Amino acid sequence: MKHLITTVLLLLFSALLFAQKGNVYTSLENALQNPNKVYELNLSGQKLESIPASIGQFSKLEKLDLHNNSITELPAAICNLQHLRWLNISFNKLKRLPANIGNLNALEYLNTHSNELESLPNSFTKLNALKTLNLYYNHLDSLNSDFGNLSNLRQLYLNSNPLKALPSSFSQLKNLSLLNLSFNRINYVLTDFQDLEQLDSLIIISCHLRFIPKEITQIKSLTYLNLQANEIQVIPEAIQNLEHLEELIMQDNPITTIHPNIGSLSKLSLLNLSDYNYNLVAEIPASLTNLKELKVLQICGLGLKKIPDFIFDMEQLEIIDIKYNNFKKVPKSVKKLVHLKRFDFRSEKIVERQNKNVQKWLPNTEINALNERSDQMQKVLKALMKAADNKKE
């Protein structure tokens, strides 16, 4: 009986504690009435320009949301929140973080998106519990030399900063699974990326890369690689090393050469080689037929005068986006693509009759064939015909 009473009391205590933790405070004034009972505080979107030092009174605070205000500086007292696990200070006007921010030993999530940070304090790399770090859209031109000490980082967003290079210690981020370096000034990767053994997703959009660095082709754990809008001309032989790659996005690069070894990426399910700047690719290798897992193929704006015949042998394809090329017709062999769900072949060269033929050959496929101008003309003609019919009535 005593055991039963003890169990019931423990359950009641746990339920009470859970109820307290589930209570989200949205008023600093109300929260300060019982600071020891506050676990989550949401002051987002309240047009705040400053945070008082009294924020340090919330000794049990685990989650703090200050995003979408006009805060210019955080009080040093915020570094006393020893239980804080989650902190969102995005969309403010912060130029610096508190010098002792490294004291937040429990912090796992930090979002500083859209501030004016120019550097990170020396203590920053003591945030050993940090798993997700978003530094997107700040003014950082460099990272701390010991940045690699953040050994528990899983997701790191460094996009839209004027970063020129990564510190050598970066290769120590052994647990990193996602890295976004887009819209920086990094035009060459100077770190041993192969040491990032858990890196699953790498995004480097619009960084003026002129080639795919060998360091990237050595990251065998990669499943997602996005190098969109760079200045890459060659997909090299070493691309075959990315044996676990599932999605490869090379859109808007002036690619002139694609090595046939791209056909050895046996797990690839999405391939985007499109270029809306209309740079002409020399040749799309027939080795793509070896990609038995490929479901999505995007080869828009490449100046193709003919749809490569081998594409019609890739019966596993579900989506083909081949618009804005120079071919005039789609051959009847497109019928072989029995699993195709969507087919977009919009072009100035394609006539309405071709559209009807393809719809007949692929009755279960969503077809998009008319270019925008033709589509608008069709709408105008239909409107005129309807107006004429109305007049007759």
Tokens 């790399």 — which residue? 125
Long-range contacts of the stretch 66-72 (C-beta < 8 A, 24+): 66/92, 67/91, 67/92, 67/111, 67/113, 68/44, 68/92, 69/43, 69/44, 69/45
CATH topology of domain 1-139: 3.80.10
Superfamily holding 175-289: Ribonuclease Inhibitor (3.80.10.10)
CB 127 within 8 Å of CB 104: yes
Would you write out the chain's pLDDT as a tens digit for each of its 393 residues?
Answer: 445 454 444 444 443 443 456 799 999 999 999 999 999 999 999 999 999 999 999 999 999 999 999 999 999 999 999 999 999 999 999 999 999 999 999 999 999 999 999 999 999 999 999 999 999 999 999 999 999 999 999 999 999 999 998 999 999 999 999 999 999 998 776 567 888 999 999 999 999 999 999 999 999 999 999 999 999 999 999 999 999 999 999 999 999 999 999 999 999 999 999 998 877 777 899 999 999 999 999 999 998 989 999 999 999 999 999 999 988 889 999 999 999 999 999 987 776 677 888 999 999 999 987 654 444 444 444 454 455 555 444
Q: Do domains 1-139 and 175-289 have the same CATH topology?
A: yes
Domains of the chain by residue range: 1-139, 175-289, 304-393
Indicate yes or no: pTM above 0.85. yes
What the block records as the tokens of 315 is 């019966």
Q: Is 36 helix (H, G, I), strand (E, B) or coil?
A: helix
